[in-house]
């Protein structure tokens, strides 16, 4: 797919923009990762990472970036015994996860709408 796309971008002054827009549009339908508290889910198949094909997966980035990553770092540290357990019930952790998911989805939607606007303008001004 990547090779086919690369061949269609061309080499004119708009090729980079076409590449970015089309790559974004092709990756857009992919399922977005969601935060959840494992203690409230009974179905362990939900912990599976499809692309990596691993049964259990936890994703996080630097804890300075997102609140959800701070929580994951703290929970992981507590599970490894390097810090005391978090004093939150699993339902409260799940509620925080759902809030983070809502904010992430809203942010993604704004990003998509911004991309749609850019693409509309790009198509309009393109001869």
DSSP one-letter string for 65-92: T-HHHHHHHHHHHHHTTSSPPPS--HHH
pLDDT band at 1 (very low <50, low <70, confident <90, very high): low
Q: What is the mean pLDDT of residues 93-120?
A: 90
Greater confidence (108 vs 6) lies with: 108
Pair 65, 118 in one domain:
yes
Pair 107, 46 in one domain:
yes
Q: What is the mean pLDDT of residues 104-124?
A: 88
- Examine the pLDDT at 28 and tell me if it is beyond 90: no
Of 44-48, 81-85, 101-105, give the lowest mean pLDDT range.
44-48
Pair 114, 65 in one domain:
yes
Tokens 């590449």, residue located:
19
Q: Which domain holds residue 8?
A: 1-30
Greater confidence (5 vs 118) lies with: 118
Query: First CA to last CA across the chain, in angstroms?
Result: 27
Pair 80, 112 in one domain:
yes
pLDDT above 70 covers a percentage of the chain that reads 91
Pair 55, 112 in one domain:
yes
Pair 64, 5 in one domain:
no
Pair 84, 68 in one domain:
yes
Pair 16, 58 in one domain:
no
Q: Tens digits of per-residue pLDDT, 36-75? A: 888 888 888 878 877 788 888 887 777 677 788 888 888 8
User: And the tokens for 22?
Assistant: 């089309």
Pair 112, 100 in one domain:
yes
Q: What is the mean pLDDT of residues 98-119?
A: 89
Pair 21, 60 in one domain:
no
Q: What is the mean pLDDT of residues 19-44?
A: 76
Domain count for the chain, please give it.
Answer: 2
Pair 38, 21 in one domain:
no
- Please compute Rg for the chain using Cα positions: 20
């Amino acid at each position: 797919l990547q090779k086919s796309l690369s061949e269609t971008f061309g080499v004119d002054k708009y090729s980079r923009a076409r590449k970015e827009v089309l790559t974004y549009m092709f990756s857009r339908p992919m399922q977005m990762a969601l935060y959840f508290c494992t203690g409230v889910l009974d179905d362990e198949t939900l912990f599976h990472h499809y692309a990596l094909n691993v049964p259990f997966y936890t994703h996080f980035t630097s804890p300075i970036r997102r609140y959800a990553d701070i929580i994951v770092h703290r929970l992981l540290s507590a599970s490894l015994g390097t810090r005391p357990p978090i004093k939150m019930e699993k339902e409260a952790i799940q509620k925080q996860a759902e809030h983070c998911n809502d904010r992430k989805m809203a942010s993604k939607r704004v990003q998509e709408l911004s991309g749609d606007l850019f693409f509309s303008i790009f198509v309009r001004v393109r001869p």
